Amino acid sequence: MSRKRSWNTILVFCILIFGFTAATLLKPSSEFSETENRALAQMPKMELESILNGDFEADYEEYLTDQFVLRDAWIGLKTASERAQFRQESKDIYFAEDGYLIEKHTGAFTSEQAAQNQKLLAQFCERYEPQFGAEHMTVMLIPNAVDILEDLLPPFAAPCEQEGYLTQVQDALPEGVWFDAGAVLREHKDEELYYRTDHHWKTGAAFLVYQEWAREQGFVVPSESDYEIRTAAGDFEGTIQAKLGIHTAKDTLELYLPKKDIFYTMQINGAEKISYSLYDETALDTRDKYAVYFGGNQALVRLKARTDSDRRLLVLKDSYAHCFVPFALEEFEQIDLVDVRYYNQKLSELIVQEGYTDLLVLYNAAGFAEDVSLAKLLG
C-alpha cells in the first residue's frame, strides 16, 4: 500500500512538472505583460554557437519563466505565501510601512555597469561644457524611494548604497553641473513623494524639485496656487505591485494644470501629427496610467511653446522627467526630450542641428545606474 502511494506521489509530481511545461510550450507566446508593463521573453533560436556558449540555455530559462502558464496567478500565490510567513521582502521589494512597496535595487550601484555609466556621463559633460557652459548644464539624478524613505523600511533592512554612488557621480562631473535633488526631497520626506505601488516619484515631488531648480536657474519660481491640481486617477496600481502579483493600496495620480494659458505644440518621434496637449488621457483607462504623460516612453518628444524666450533645452532622460518638464514650458521656446534607450540617431548631430542653449540630464538614480544604452551619449 505504501509503495502504491509512493508511485501515486511520483505520478502527480511528474504531471505537475511535465504537464505545466508542456502547457507552457503549447500555448501561444505572449509578447507583452500588461500587468508588468514590459516585453516578455520569446522562444530563442536553437543555434549551435548559442548552445555551446550557454546563451541558448539562459535565454530558454528566461523564456519558460516569462511564458509559464498561469504565470501571474503563481506569482501572486508565492507573494501571498511569503506575506503569510511575515516575510519583510519579496523579489527584491520591501513591504514597508504605510503600505509602501519599495524596491531595494540590490547591487545596482556597485555593478560594473554603474561605474561605466558614471564615466560615460562625466565624459559627455566634459565634451559639451565648452558649448553650453556649466551655468546652462544640469545633471539631476533623482534618489529612489529606498533612499529618501529609509525611515519606512523594515527593521534590519540592508543599508542603501545609493547615496554613496550619487556622491561619486557628482565628484566626477565638472564644477557647477550637479543639482542635488536629494537634498530637496529630504526636506519634505514626511510628504507623499513617491507612489506606494510604483517606482516613480509623484508630480508633487517633481514640483518641489522644480521650484528649487528654477530658483537656481533664475527662472520664475511657480507656486501651487498657479495650478489646478487635478486627480487624474484614484485607482493607479503601479509596476512594483505588478511584480508581486498582488493588490495592495491604490495610488492617486495627479496632474498640475496651469491656470494661465500656455500655448504649445507637441510632436512625437518626428511624426507629422501635432498635439496640443502633453497628456494622453486614453492611458487613464489602461493599467499603465503613468503613460498619461506623452503617451509613455518615446525616443524623441519635441515641445514648442509660444514664449518670449529664445532658449532651447535638450533633456536626456528616463520617465522620471515626464512629470517634471511640463513646469518648464514657459522658460524655453523649444524643449526636446530624448530617451537614449530608444533614440538610434547620432546624438551629436541632433545637438548641432537644433542649436540647444541648455542641457538637462534627468534620470532616477537606479535607472541611470542600470541603463545599458548610455554609450549613445558619446555618439
User: For 344-354, how does the pLDDT look when each residue is reduced to its tens digit (9 = 90+)?
Assistant: 999 999 999 99
Q: Is the pLDDT of residue 231 over 50?
A: yes
Question: Is the Cβ–Cβ distance between 104 and 150 less than 8 Å?
Answer: no
The angle at the Cα of 119, spanning 115 to 121, to the nearest 5 degrees, equals 115
Residue 223 CA to residue 246 CA, distance in Å, equals: 37
- Rounded to an integer, the average pLDDT of 50-61 is 70
Top-confidence residue, 329 or 87: 329
pLDDT score recorded for residue 76: 46
Average pLDDT for the chain: 86
pLDDT score recorded for residue 247: 73
The amino acid occupying position 282 is T
Reported as a single tens digit per residue, the pLDDT across 359-378 is 999 999 999 999 999 999 99
pLDDT score recorded for residue 50: 72
List alpha helices for the chain, DSSP H: 2-26, 48-52, 55-67, 71-84, 112-132, 145-148, 162-172, 181-187, 203-217, 239-244, 347-354, 365-370
**Listed range (25-39, 168-182, 255-269, 333-347) with the worst mean pLDDT:** 25-39
For residue 292, how far is the Cα from the chain centroid? 14
Top-confidence residue, 362 or 33: 362
pLDDT score recorded for residue 158: 85
Band (287; pLDDT cuts 50, 70, 90): confident
pLDDT score recorded for residue 90: 82
Residue 242 CA to residue 43 CA, distance in Å, equals: 23
- Rounded to an integer, the average pLDDT of 68-82 is 51
Reported as a single tens digit per residue, the pLDDT across 36-49 is 555 666 777 777 66
Reported as a single tens digit per residue, the pLDDT across 178-207 is 999 999 999 999 999 999 999 999 999 999
Residue-wise over 320-353: b if at least 16 C-beta within 10 A, else e? Answer: bbbbbbbbbbbbbbbbbbbbbeebeeebeeebee
pLDDT score recorded for residue 88: 73
How do beta strands 358-364 and 312-317 pair?
parallel
Percent of the chain with pLDDT over 90: 68
How do beta strands 32-33 and 274-275 pair?
unpaired
Reported as a single tens digit per residue, the pLDDT across 294-342 is 999 999 999 999 999 999 999 999 999 999 999 999 999 999 999 999 9
Question: Is the Cβ–Cβ distance between 347 and 340 less than 8 Å?
Answer: yes
**Listed range (137-141, 217-221, 237-241, 263-267) with the worst mean pLDDT:** 237-241
Is residue 139 within a helix (H) or strand (E), and if so which, with residue range? Answer: strand 137-142
Top-confidence residue, 71 or 112: 112
Beta bridge partners of 141: 363
pLDDT score recorded for residue 86: 47
Q: Is the pLDDT of residue 64 over 70?
A: no
Top-confidence residue, 235 or 75: 235
The 3-state DSSP class for residue 111 equals coil
Q: Is the pLDDT of residue 59 over 90?
A: no
The model's pTM: 0.81
pLDDT score recorded for residue 273: 82
pLDDT score recorded for residue 194: 98
Q: Is the pLDDT of residue 74 over 60?
A: no
Helix, strand and coil percent figures for the chain, each rounded to 5:
45, 20, 35
Band (63; pLDDT cuts 50, 70, 90): low
pLDDT score recorded for residue 16: 46
